[in-house]
Amino acid sequence: MTYPAIEIKDMAKMYKTKSRHPVRALDGVSLTVREGEIFGLLGRNGAGKTTLLRILTTLIPPTSGSASVLGYDVQRQGLAVRKHICAVLQENALELYLSVKDNLHTYARFHAVPSHQREKRVLETMEQFGLTDHAHVKAMDLSGGLKRRLQVAKVFMVDKPVVLLDEATTGMDPINKRTVLQAIREQAHKGRTILLTTHILHAAEELCDTIVMIHHGRIVATGDLPSIKRLASNVFEISVTFESLTDPIMAALEMLAPLRLHRTRNTVELCVNGVETELLETLTQLSKQTRLSHVEITSGTLEDAFVEILGGPEA
């Protein structure tokens, strides 16, 4: 019998607090992750993403509902679950007094990588993640981004079929992020299942086969990237360059009540929620005041869908 890589049914998690009412971190969550896919879990801080990963890694039990990894129940078969997963959680999990290379060797021994394969895997992993030049540097002396990159490199060095990544690129510069995202893509091509939480929405847009948005412990949207983006079907990205950009033109653009607006010299980039014909009428009127040298209108991005579904900033 073939099982999903991860299956969660009607899961709830309550935390007791000093106040009269407990905190409901998860509220009836159900989802299925297929083997070999990259599954993105998106949401605000406090939405319940990390709680979900901590349950899947057997660190905490759910209050109700069930979860399984490759058919193994996370509560009744915790040891079997741990044998089939590796995880990067938000907490630092490095041996700070060991070098980069020794951290990788130690992790490989912990996961019973055969001694005759260990050195080769360590060298390959350092090369893949751009850590070779830092091989003999102690983890405590690495920058925050390099520490996180080493933490991610460790889990990809061992052959576990399911990988759980909680904000794996936090604190990384753009080059570090690109290195890690490419490694995630390569591992998925090898057939590994990857569940990741991220605030880097363009990373989810690039990588994920399936996306779930979670809000206040409940799933509010699920589907592939095109399906999620269609939820923001009335959101448009506009880039327009004027021959001369005057204050009245900027005022007219601001009257569109843009979700975002950014000006660079005579080019304005904005995101608006409205009817496309109305946008074209506005641009037509503006073109009578000055020539438009460039106009581009595209449908909303994943970020636009995120804002549309989850709303504006919370207090």
Q: pLDDT tens across 282-304, in order?
A: 888 888 888 888 888 777 777 77
Bridge partners (DSSP) listed for residue 237: 271, 298
Edge to edge, what strands does the sheet with 6-15 contain? 23-33, 6-15, 64-69, 72-73
Provide the whole-model pTM. Answer: 0.77
pLDDT beyond 60 at 30: yes
Q: Dump pLDDT digits (tens) for 54-82.
A: 999 999 999 999 999 999 999 999 999 99
- ∠ CA(46), CA(224), CA(195), 5° rounding? 50
Q: Dump pLDDT digits (tens) for 14-27.
A: 988 776 678 889 99
Side-chain-side CA neighbours of 241 within 13 Å: the count stands at: 5
Cα 50 from Cα 18, distance rounded (Å): 22
